[in-house]
Structure formats: C-alpha cells, structure tokens
Amino acid sequence: MSKIEKAIQERILVLDGAMGTMLQRNNFSEEDFRGERFKNFPHPLKGNNDLLSITQPEAVKAVHRAYFQAGADIVETNTFSGTTIGMADYHLEDLVYELNYQSAKIAREVADEFTDKPRFVAGSIGPTNRTASMSPDVNDPGFRAVTFDELRIAYKQQVEALIDGGSDVLLVETIFDTLNAKAALFAIEEVKEERNLDIPVMVSGTITDASGRTLSGQTVEAFLISISHIPLLSIGFNCALGADQLKPYLKRLAHNTQLNISAHPNAGLPNAFGQYDQTPEEMQALIREYLQDNLINIIGGCCGTTPEHIKLIAEVAKEFKPRPNHLQGFHNLVGVK
C-alpha cells in the first residue's frame, strides 16, 4: 500500500487550490513568460502557465509552498495543459517532457520541505482543448479534431515525465469528455505495465451545467460506469460549479460507489467579469456540509480558490472522519441500484 493510500484511510486529505488564480497575481509580462531561454522565440508565449515551471520556477514553487503552509496534503503539478496537443497552441510540442518533468520536480522539492506529515504531489493531467467524442463542426457531425490514439500517445508522454519527476499520484481532472479521460487512463495503464509499477490514480470529472451532465452528455452514473474498469484511488468532480451547486452530484456519486470521493469546486460561480467572489468563510461553510453528510475523502479548490480558502477548508476537514470506503479492489457498478 502506498503512503497516500494509507493516509486516505486515516484522515480527509486536503488538495490545493487554483494554480492559475495565484500565478495571475504576478501580472507576468510576455518577457516574464519567455525568460532568457525563450527570449527570441518566434511565437507569443504569454498565457502559457505551464511554461512558467521553466522560466519562473520560483514563482511556481511559491504557490506550492503557500498551499502546503495553508494545510494542503496534496499539491497539483503545474501541468494542466502539458501535452503536445495543448502545447501546439504555443508551438512548444517538443518541450512537453521537460515541462512535465520540471513541474513535478519543483512540486516534489517543495513537498519535501515539509516534514510534519506526509505531503504528496499529484501529477495534473488536463482534458486538452479537443474532444474525441464530439465534432467541433456543426456542419460535419462525423468529424473529430483528435483521435483516441493521438490522445493516448500525447498522454503517455506526459505521464512518463510526471512519474519521472516525482509524482506520488496521477490526477486525470476536469474531464468534460470521458473518451478523452479513457485515453489518459489507457496511457497510464500502459506505462504502469511497461515499468512494472503501481502509481495511484485519481479521476475528477466536470459537471458543466444544471442538467447534471458532462459536456459530452454523461450523467454522474454513466460517467462512473464508463471508468469503473480501472482501479482508482478516488473519483470525484471539480471546476465549473461552486460547492453548493456541486453537492447534489457528489451525493449521487457517493450513493453509487465505494471508491474514495474527491471534490475541488470553484469559489462559487463567476461574476460578470469572470471573477470569483466567494470568500474563504463562505466556502468553508459549504464544505462543512459535505463533511457532515459524509460525502468525501479528498477536498480542495479549483478556479478562484487561494491559500486562504484552503486554510479554512483544512481547518474544518480536521473535525471529521473520512467517508468509509473499500480501498482494496474497486466497485463493480453493473447492477447497482
């Protein structure tokens, strides 16, 4: 049993908050994103947060450190867009291995600074900016902008680098298309088999609106069944919704699985300017309801959350025991009523 599997049986684990929200506070310019190494790169790089692990590593380390100081048990690597598919927007496909390796290494170094309790690094694997199960062209419903194999190959490269850099767990997150996620999970299983290792895997989907479905149209239950063939450390939801809007879907998840459940909601819904107004105190009160209803094993924050949010979430998490689970083996959903 890995250290994180042991820890999750003993207490509710706290995940970090938003990386982008924190990095934006630096108001980095195009020159800051470039650094010396990419000073003469022929394409714009501003907005490529993953690149900051190479060009502004101390800024990324500072974010990880702030979340650990706030009480997080797990920080996510700065690799949300770290595939050849995501990096194609910036013409940096050749940099993918280094980006992921360096991001994991940075997070690992900061995690090792803290010796009071086990601290963990989650290799963040985002959904990419393409969808494998839907056409982006309304006039050609059969068209696909990416294939399963293209996704699998891209994710495999990312996974190898995240493991090499020191990740304790892999987090396939913000899933809006389960076919994309299945490509990531397939790639992870390939790497595990080739390397004869067993790294824990977390999966976190995204309910996109009040219909209670992912962008590709799956309900909570359908999403769960679609990935039930993979042994997982946890399954859960993040992004798109605030803690109050996300709660009914976590309840449905808890009713239908014995896996550990994770949640990292946004700090409420965005306002007219795309900003998140929910205070740490407001979010803490909503998370307390999750804990009182015994819904979760891992709790953190997504868009708009800061170390101040995570500090109050960590404080309330200490008051409760984790949701009971069956960690040894995974639950077969077929036939579950």
pLDDT digit string (tens) for 86-140? 999 999 999 999 999 999 999 999 999 999 999 999 999 999 999 887 878 778 8
SS3 of residue 296 by DSSP? coil
Does position 332 have pLDDT exceeding 80, yes or no? Answer: no
Comparing CA positions, the residue from 101, 208, 204 lying closest to residue 159 is: 101
Q: pLDDT of 157-186, one tens digit each?
A: 999 999 999 999 999 999 999 999 999 999
- Calculated CA dihedral for residues 136, 137, 143, 145, nearest 10 degrees: -40
CA gap 175, 258 in Å, rounded:
20
Q: Which value, in Å, is the radius of gyration of the alpha carbons in the chain? A: 19
Please name the residue that has the structure tokens 């997504």: 302
Binding residues for Zn(2+): 239, 302-303
Q: What is the model's pTM? A: 0.93
Does position 337 have pLDDT exceeding 50, yes or no? Answer: no
Average pLDDT, the chain: 93
Binding residues: 239, 302-303
pLDDT value at position 133? 79
The one-character DSSP state at 226 is H
pLDDT value at position 331? 38
Region of poorest pLDDT, from 50-59, 234-243, 317-326: 317-326
- Give the orientation angle of helix 96-111 with respect to helix 57-69, to 10 degrees: 40
Does position 205 have pLDDT exceeding 90, yes or no? Answer: yes
